[in-house]
Amino acid sequence: MELTTFNFKMRGDERGSLVAIEENRDIPFAIKRVYYIFGTGEAVIRGLHAHKTLRQVMICIHGTCSLLLDNGTDKIVVPMHDRDQGILIDAMVWHEMYNFSPDCVLLVLAGDFYDESDYLRDYNEFLSVI
């Protein structure tokens, strides 16, 4: 499967760094929801689902973790550590996050509001739908 990444402009000066992300410009959809994940233990696996329609961009803004993307045919493992790079988690892509460093913070930009009925949480069901 193809990995879609977005390389955001790092605006740095002597005071530090700043990254700005604009909907429909820096990422290819309107942002309806932002959430962030932090304080996850090293042995924990998060995600373990696909979304039927939701598109998201994930950015590791602190620390490190691994992101597994699986379209039902191919799998990619993405090392997450770049503050200025977003990874597209498209609809119908099974994803898992693991290997969290204690200081890891994942920022997620989502194209829609939270909707539990959009989740496919059973891998076999995901495979049958895809």
Question: Which sequence positions are flagged as catalytic?
Answer: 49
CB of 46 closer than 8 Å to CB of 105: no
Q: Of 82, 106, 76, which Cα lies nearest the Cα of 94? A: 76
Locate 76 and state its tokens: 């990619």
Locate 77 and state its tokens: 């493992």
Amino acid at 17: S
Compute the least distance from the CB of residue 56 to ligand T46, in Å.
Answer: 6
Q: Which of 11, 44, 114, 128 binds ligand T46 (CB under 6 A)?
A: 114
Q: Establish if 108 lies at the interface with ligand T46 (CB under 6 A).
A: yes
Residue bearing tokens 């924990």: 44
Compute the least distance from the CB of residue 11 to ligand T46, in Å.
Answer: 26
Q: Of 120, 55, 118, 113, which Cα lies nearest the Cα of 86? A: 55
Site string for ligand T46, 8-47 (x = CB under 6 A): -------------------------x-x-x--------xx
Compute the least distance from the CB of residue 13 to ligand T46, in Å.
Answer: 32
Catalog residues that contact ligand T46 under the rule CB under 6 A: 33, 35, 37, 46-47, 56, 89, 108, 114
